[in-house]
Amino acid sequence: MRAFQLTGWQKPPELREISIPEPGPGEVLLKIGGAGACHSDLHLMEAPEGSASVTFPFTLGHENAGWVERLGPGAAGYAVGDPVLVYGPWGCGRCLNCRTGMENYCENEGVERPGGLGRNGGMANYLVVPSTRFLIPIGNLDPRDAAPLSDAALTSYHAVKRSLHLLGAGSTAVVIGAGGLGQMAIQLLRALSGATTIVAVDTAPDKLATAKRMGADEALLSGEDAVRRIKDMTLGQGANLVLDMVGIDPTLKMAARVARSLGHVTIVGLGGGALPVNFFNLPHECSVTAPYWGSIPELAEVVSLAQAGKIKMLVEHFPLDRAAEAYHLLHDGKIGGRAVILPNG
């Protein structure tokens, strides 16, 4: 089969011919429907030597959906052809966090590398998933469109849900960066909190127009005017929740300026900027956090929202032999929603 693989540090990924893997005991072989291209893949491609625990070569793609092709010995509960979403952060399954479904915070990190982030992922015809506990049935959803639910949507969902208690009547939530993840965050805010006022901020007018369509009450071009407008809207108090989907110095600075006392600043974007946190720099008792992905129960909730038509990811499909092009477009900011690679057409 063909697989889009990283072969070494700071080398461009390449399409290679590898053999179809065998599912071992408890494992499941999936025929891939779609594999999303994520910004964190770009980080991995550019990462300095030794900066992550990976074994080359490995297949990219940590945002996967497909159909059960074959069950390994002892794996049960699924039939061949079942459409499923793959939960991406593969933990040990035994530690306390894993047992509550938060395998994204496995206490034995490094035991299991997530597929696509250090071991073989989904940008290939087939993928071996190490356990059926990482599969979420998706029913009538098409795996080719559903793949981004497992990262783009799950990551945004977790970031919103942990702050829901702040988003009652009269509250304001600001989403900085209205790309694929930001658009999803806006839909999730709309779906989970009917009461909160949603403000989208971006540098691109077309993304702001999309943000409005996705449910933002206000869409503001980033800059001083946006800061002033948010302060005005909130009677000088600032927003209860600020989601920074970009994470570079200027967006983090803005996030700190538009948040309120007792609010949350949540850094989702991997921009790598820095926000000085001290007594003077943030409103009092404002929390700053950088979550990673989400839990297995949260992924099941995300699937429910998608099945109910309450969230929808904008996807652009690419055949496997155009995967490199998809990443170039992603790198240049030219993917409007999410690029999804279709290894099996």
Examine residue 95 and tell whether it contacts Zn ion (CB under 5 A).
yes
- Taking the least distance from each CB to Zn ion, the nearer of 60 and 167 is 60
- Taking the least distance from each CB to Zn ion, the nearer of 22 and 46 is 46
Output Rg (C-alpha) for the chain, integer angstroms: 20
CA dist 223 and 73 (Å) reads 57
CA dist 327 and 12 (Å) reads 10
Tokens (6 digits) for 254: 């803005």
Residues binding Zn ion: number (CB under 5 A)? 9
User: What's the min distance (Å) between Cβ of 38 and Zn ion?
Assistant: 3
For residue 265, the tally of other CB atoms under 10 A from its CB is 26
User: What's the min distance (Å) between Cβ of 125 and Zn ion?
Assistant: 21
User: Look-up: residue for tokens 């904008």?
Assistant: 314
Positions 241 through 300 that interact with Zn ion (CB under 5 A): none
Positions 34 through 63 that interact with Zn ion (CB under 5 A): 38, 40
Q: Which of 68, 106, 198, 315 binds Zn ion (CB under 5 A)?
A: 106
Question: HSE (CB half, 13 Å, CA atoms) of 331?
Answer: 13
CA dist 303 and 136 (Å) reads 8
Examine residue 237 and tell whether it contacts Zn ion (CB under 5 A).
no
N-to-C CA span, the chain: 13
- Taking the least distance from each CB to Zn ion, the nearer of 83 and 91 is 91
CA dist 96 and 102 (Å) reads 9
Tokens (6 digits) for 336: 């409007």
Total number of residues shown for the chain: 345
**316 membership: H or E segment, kind and range:** strand 315-319
Positions 139 through 158 that interact with Zn ion (CB under 5 A): 151
Examine residue 92 and tell whether it contacts Zn ion (CB under 5 A).
yes
User: What's the min distance (Å) between Cβ of 93 and Zn ion?
Assistant: 6
- Taking the least distance from each CB to Zn ion, the nearer of 54 and 95 is 95
- Taking the least distance from each CB to Zn ion, the nearer of 6 and 98 is 98
- Taking the least distance from each CB to Zn ion, the nearer of 15 and 92 is 92
Choose the binding region for Zn ion from 46-54, 83-91, 164-172, 175-183 (rule: CB under 5 A): 83-91
Q: Give the footprint of Zn ion on this chain (CB under 5 A).
A: 38, 40, 91-92, 95, 98, 106, 108, 151
